[in-house]
Structure 1
């Protein structure tokens, strides 16, 4: 029980000492503001989904389950 307590205290101490330097910096006040990203979410994912569904149906029909 004493080993568990001491290892927990040690882990929390290490975590407390390293969490300060690991925090991210804010965006700052100067400089131009970045624009919104206009990347399309779909980007061909619907074609990949349709191709995967067609391939799955083909495999099911060949195995005789559908």
Structure 2
């Protein structure tokens, strides 16, 4: 699984970091970013939950796009 965060859509709610801090972090400006675009298998379920729960729908699973 590979993810990306659209920095134009993210508003810094931090839901993703709460749900999966192993994959997402906040920048110095307070916006989300993927720590690594390649999600370790053990964090895929939490990452999917973060994608679904993002209020701005800023997180995308880009696995099929690559």
* TM superposition score normalised by structure 1: 0.22
Comparing both chains, which one has the higher relative contact order based on Cα–Cα distances under 8 Å and sequence gaps of 6 or more?
Answer: 2
- Structure with greater helix percent: 1
